[in-house]
Amino acid sequence: MKRVLLLMTTTSYRAQAFLEAAESLELEVVIGSDREQALSFAKPSGNLTLDFSAPEISALRAAEFASAHPLDAVVAADDDGVVLAAHIARALGLRHNALEAVAAARSKRLFRDRLAAAGLPGPRYFELGLDAYPVEAAANAPYPCVLKPLSLSASRGVIRADDEASFLAAFRRIAALLERVEAPGAAERRGILVEEYLPGSEVALEGILTNGAMRTLALFDKPDPLEGPYFEETIYITPSRFPLPVREAIVEQTAAAVRALGLEHGPIHAEMRVSEQGVRMLEIAPRSIGGLCSRALRFADGVSLESLILRHALGENVSLLERESRASGVMMMPIRRGGTLRSVTGLDRALRVPGIDDIRMTIPVGQRVIPLPEGARYLGFLFAHGDRPSEVEESLRRAHAQIAIEIDSTDAGLPCGEREA
């Protein structure tokens, strides 16, 4: 039986999906996490506690473990594990992305530098340290612009500024967030990237790399406008409704950006903007789509995205696994204001909406909810299928309209100077 090391923190959404996929493939799974896991829905064959903020040391520990329990593959479920996965794979001689390529994809500044050096189109940008004098930067910023932490993901801490006043407010808010963040690579998170705002519609590409060759697994439209001041994603729908020449340009630009970064092997999730000026890359992550969004994707014979990724990591040929022909989509339920989640009603009505497959709430009643740009979680996920993308979008919107969310904002607990989104 082949053995896979699955890297994920205890806050990961992806544990169940990956473990279910591993079970269907009859794989032995060892969970590499920041603390010992307690999984009620499935039991891994082992647990390896690792320090994600010290990848060199953790890679040595994983290698020691592998000397007694050989590992056939290392897979990172989320952003937090991609750097550690590269270190461990290198230590074990397993096929993986180079450390430098993963670091470039993880850092918003290095990402922009690599693409600019390759001659790819992109926004004007500069880095701003938290100890810098923001008033001077605000006076010289290209408005409208976007301020974003160097390494945080999922739009966390990303704020649009249209003038000097909103620039300074965004700078203070991001700085306060970074001072509170305790996560791997904390030293890298002490800076802010300021870049020219890119107008246009946002799309996402899910892909897999094999020896440098990119294969597109799905292309998602994001029909809700993402114009700021915060950038909370909601709906993803595939296949894309853009004309074929635009879709081809999206794939071409993504492949060029992948080459510029030096990524060569494993899953990627890329995001970009499409406008009259063409395709402009926003980011490329060396991992698959986040949250529970992968449940919107099904491949031949009902194969899940996680199963495809595990098979690929083990060296299997997955080129014949095509996405199902029907349209599909997911809605990440937004958090409109901060506070304590008091009740969620109407789920039964939402499930009866034609086209809706499932609803997964991910924050229990009684817990605190935090909106973007500080928050890092969604209330839940809605999933739908249909004959056409427009049908999927309509199903998701109708279902969401049936759900009533009660949040007690009297105890929002936001830090001083911050407001609810």
Could you report the per-residue pLDDT of 366-415, keeping only the tens digit for each? Answer: 999 999 999 988 999 999 999 999 999 999 999 999 999 999 988 655 44
- Give CATH 3.30.1490.20 domain extents, the chain: 123-196
In angstroms, the CA 218 to CA 138 distance is 39
The confidence score (pLDDT) of residue 418 equals: 39
Answer whether 372's CB lies under 8 Å from 231's CB: yes
| CATH number assigned to the domain with residue range 327-421, chosen from the 4 options 3.40.50.1820, 3.30.360.10, 3.40.50.300, 3.90.1170.50 | 3.90.1170.50
Residue 19 pLDDT more than 60? yes
* Pairwise CA distance, residues 147 & 410, whole Å: 29
Query: What is the per-residue pLDDT for 335?
Result: 93
Residue range 3-102, CATH number? 3.40.50.20
For the chain, give every residue range classified as CATH 3.90.1170.50. 327-421
Does position 27 have pLDDT exceeding 60, yes or no? yes
387: which 2 tokens?
């004959």
User: Band of the pLDDT at 43, cuts 50, 70, 90?
Assistant: low
In this prediction, residue 185 carries a pLDDT of: 47
**Which residues of the chain are in CATH 3.40.50.20 domains?**
3-102
What does the DSSP assignment read for 229-287?
A: SS----EEEES--S-HHHHHHHHHHHHHHHHHHT--SEEEEEEEEEETTEEEEEEEESS
For the cut 70, the answer to whether the pLDDT of residue 421 exceeds it is no
* Torsion sign, CA atoms 111, 115, 120, 124: positive
Average pLDDT value over all residues in the chain: 92
Mapped onto helix, strand or coil, the DSSP state of residue 120 is coil
Spatial distance between the Cα atoms of 9 and 52, rounded to a whole number of angstroms: 8
**Distance of alpha carbon 2 from alpha carbon 73, whole angstroms:** 9
For residue 190, give the nearest of 134, 131, 122 by alpha carbon: 131
Two tokens, residue 57: 């040391």
Q: Is the pLDDT at 111 greater than 80, yes or no?
A: yes
Q: Which tokens belong to 177?
A: 């967030």
Contacts of 191 (CB under 8 A, 6+ apart): 109, 127, 128, 129, 130, 149, 150
The pLDDT, as a whole number, for residue 291 is 87
Confidence tier at 26 by pLDDT (50, 70, 90): very high
Residue 184 is predicted with a pLDDT of: 45
Check pLDDT > 90 for residue 345.
yes
At residue 240, φ and ψ (nearest 5 deg) are -70, 145
pLDDT for 14 equals 86
Backbone angles phi, psi at 353, to 5 degrees: -65, 130
Res 37 pLDDT > 70: no
Residue 44 clears pLDDT 60, i.e. is over it:
no
CB 211 within 8 A of CB 259: no
Per-residue pLDDT of 246-264, as tens digits, reads 999 999 999 999 999 999 9
pLDDT digits (tens, 9 = 90+) for 185-244: 455 457 999 999 999 999 999 999 999 999 999 999 999 999 999 999 999 999 999 999
Q: Which of the four pLDDT bands, split at 50, 70 and 90, describes residue 356? A: very high
| Mean pLDDT (whole number) for 331-348 | 95
> Beta-carbon neighbour count of residue 94 at 10 Å?
18
Residue located via tokens 């299997």:
316
Q: What is the pLDDT of residue 303?
A: 96
Band of the pLDDT at 147, cuts 50, 70, 90?
very high
Looking at the domain covering 123-196, what would its CATH class be?
alpha beta
The answer on pLDDT for 337 being more than 80 is yes
Cβ-in-10-Å burial (0-12, 13-18, 19+) of 278 comes to: middle
DSSP secondary structure string, 21-90? HHHHTT-EEEEEESS----SS---SEEEE--TT-HHHHHHHHHHHHHHS--SEEEESSGGGHHHHHHHHH
Q: What is the DSSP string of 40-56?
A: SS---SEEEE--TT-HH
Q: Which pLDDT belongs to residue 415?
A: 45
What is the model's pLDDT at position 233? Answer: 92
For 130, the 3-state DSSP assignment is: coil
Beta strands in 292-370 (DSSP E): 327-332, 339-345, 356-361, 368-369
Q: What is the pLDDT of residues 272-302, one digit of tens each?
A: 999 999 999 999 999 999 889 999 999 988 9
Task: Report the C-alpha gap between 175 and 128 in whole angstroms.
Answer: 11
Counting residues of the chain whose pLDDT is more than 90, the rounded percentage is: 83
